[in-house]
Amino acid sequence: MSRPSHTGIGMTSARTRDRLVQRLREQGITDLRVLERVRVLPRHIFVDEALASRAYEDTALPIGWGQTMSQPLIVARMTEALLQGGPLGKVLEIGTGCGYQTAMLSPFAEKLFSVERVEPLLRKAKERALELELRNVRFRHGDGMKGWPTQAPFDGILAAAAPLTMPEALVQQLAMGGRLIVPVGPEGQQQLIRLTRRESGIHRESLGPVAFVPLLGGIA
């Protein structure tokens, strides 16, 4: 069975997407670039067809292998937080998942590097990136806890899963002025953290409570 088209009627209509964008506005997303990216990105292509009718709800959805696609509000918040502070040259994404966050970030980075530990998820994400013609993205099957040292330093790093403590390897791969957006902590106690590397040292901010799947080491 073929996938639903990127545009059309019903769940893929402009009205459906506009309602989602309006909900994000009401919940505090103000960056117009992020809101427009949410509006134009076909979220339904990142989930199984059985879940496609729920793609424009502001909710997390399962993508298999014990992973989820984050709710649009969280994806928008993390993208907005990463963009604050200046333009992004090289960006590292930890936890490609289904590729939705990857596709959100792609227009805002000169080069985007994405690491995923679960090979079947990575394979699907690559297919969607080709479908959407995301030409500035490179993928890697690897351990996200280690980052991508050979491509460091990065102007931005975004982690789509939660380590128990701040991963020092990722902090070390930040460029001067670079920002790291990462949920940290055990289940039920996670905080979204933004670290910024400055001449005076690492500046840490808490952006509020969140709930993510754990960031695991190794590959699968």
Q: Is the pLDDT reported for residue 2 higher than 50?
A: no
70 assigned to active site: yes
Q: What is the pLDDT of residue 159?
A: 97
Radius of gyration of the chain (CA): 16
Catalytic residue among 70, 114, 200, 206: 70
Q: What is the pLDDT of residue 3?
A: 47
For the chain, give the percent of residues with pLDDT over 70: 95
Q: What is the pLDDT of residue 11?
A: 55
CA separation for the pair 188, 56 (Å, rounded): 25
Higher pLDDT among residues 190 and 220, named by residue = 190
Taking the domain 65-209, which CATH number applies? 3.40.50.150
Q: What is the pLDDT of residue 64?
A: 83
Exposed e or buried b per residue across 161-195, where buried means at least 16 C-beta atoms within 10 angstroms of its C-beta: bbbeebbeebbebbeeebbbbbbbbeeeebebbbb
- 């690492």: which residue's tokens? 202
Contact between 47 and 60 (Cβ < 8 Å): no
Residue spans of the domains in the chain: they are 65-209
pLDDT digits (tens, 9 = 90+) for 85-142: 888 999 999 999 999 999 999 999 999 999 999 999 999 999 999 999 999 999 999 9
pTM: 0.91
